[in-house]
Structure formats: C-alpha cells, structure tokens
Amino acid sequence: MTPVVQMQEISPFVVQITMQDRVNKNTFSDELIKGLIDAFATISASNQYKAVVLTGYDSYFASGGTQEGLLAIYEGRARFTDGNIYSLALDCPIPVISAMQGHGIGGGFVMGLFSDFIVLSRESVYTTNFMKYGFTPGMGATCILPKKLGFSLAEELLLNAGNYRGADLEKRGVPFPVLPRDEVLQHALELARQLAEKPRVSLVTLKDHLVRQLREELQTFVERELIMHEKTFHQEEVKQRIMSLFGT
C-alpha cells in the first residue's frame, strides 16, 4: 500500500513530504500524524538536507482533525497537543516551504502557516473553521495567524470561521505567492533549490535566530488555547455541530 505520507529526496539537499491520505482526504488520521512526525524526525536527524517542501495531493493540502478526533476532545479523552504536528515545520532546523496546492482546512491550514515560506493556490479554500463547530481555535492558531496574516485579517478568520479562496486572500493582501494550483508545487521546489544554494550551517543558524521568539511564545498561546477548550469544547451544542456539520 502507498504510505499516506511519502518522503522523497528531490535533490541531495531538498526533500519533499507529500501528504496523500486519500481515504480521509488528508484529515489528521493516526496514520497521517505518525507519518508526518516520522518524516520530520528523519529530516531533523540528517545533516544533509537544506530545505523541505510540504505538500498534499490533488485538491487537498491538509484538512484538520477527524470527526472521531474532535469527538474525543469533546469527551475529554484527548487534547490537540497529544500528537503535536502543528509546530513540526517551526521546530524543523532547516527552512520549510508549505506548497498548499489544495484546500487548507482548520488545523491543516494552521499547520501550513507554521512553515517558513507559504505558497497558496488561487482555486483552493483556506479556513480556520474551529468556531464553525462552536469551539475556540487550537493548534497554535491564535499565535500564528496574527503573525503571518496581520491582526485584522486573522481576527476575521478566527472569529467568523468563513471560507476564503486563495484568490480572495490575494485581494486582501496576504504576503504570500498565490498561484494557479498546477504552478504551486513547482514554485515551491524552485524556491527550495534557491535555498539549497546556501551553506546549510548558515540556513540553520539564521532560521533559529528568526523563529526563536515565535518558538518561545508558542507554548504560552497553546496553554491558553487549552484553557479556552476546557470552557468551550464540552458543550452539547459542539457535539451536535461536529456530528451534523463535519465535512460540509
């Protein structure tokens, strides 16, 4: 069987991670979570790579929590921190490029925003839809969205939980390339090759300096998000919304 996370060395210095859980449309299934953690652990343990490209398949980048996973949090059996995939790109020692050729939904979009470079697709939908289900955001969303999108747009996305095409976000002035879907991956790979021209020790040293404050701040935001979840996630209305609205 094809693994749901495929790791491919594009060149001696560039590695591509492809999320392709077609059965679950790249929601955070156990297999996808394990595959991502294993792939980033392999990259972090190597001293040869200089850049990572993270992408999805067809029209899906990453789709956030599974219905079962959300219900487990509602019932108090799990927390989003149990399998920390949201900060894998941030914690990776080398630059990570999110080639979001497809939809980025909820925690899937948030995970992509923790990369050092982001490329969006004009056709795809991007949303932080936590409040659609009635619970407050998690996955470090309240930390990374204001930093990457600006406070006003981030507040709108987080509170309103609406769907935004890449073309819509381009009009709103997001500071990322927004390209036709079939150009996203190639653009990201070209950027990775440009990064690979630099000395690895310099890339690692500079990334560590640039994201140090974000890494330090993130844990505080995550702790606050968990406190908010204790207040908002265990409402009966949230369960009903997860049951009726998931996948719509």
Four-residue CA torsion sign, 92, 90, 173, 123: positive
Q: Which helix (H) or strand (E) holds 110?
A: helix 107-113
CB 120 within 8 A of CB 165: no
CA atoms within 13 Å, Cβ hemisphere of 56: 30
Those residues with Cβ within 8 angstroms of residue 78's Cβ, 6 or more apart along the chain or in another chain: 69, 72
H-helix or E-strand spanning residue 153: helix 151-160
Q: In angstroms, how far is CA 68 from the centroid of its own chain?
A: 19
Which is nearest to 230 in space by CA: 107, 76, 77, 65? 76
Active centre residues (catalytic): 229
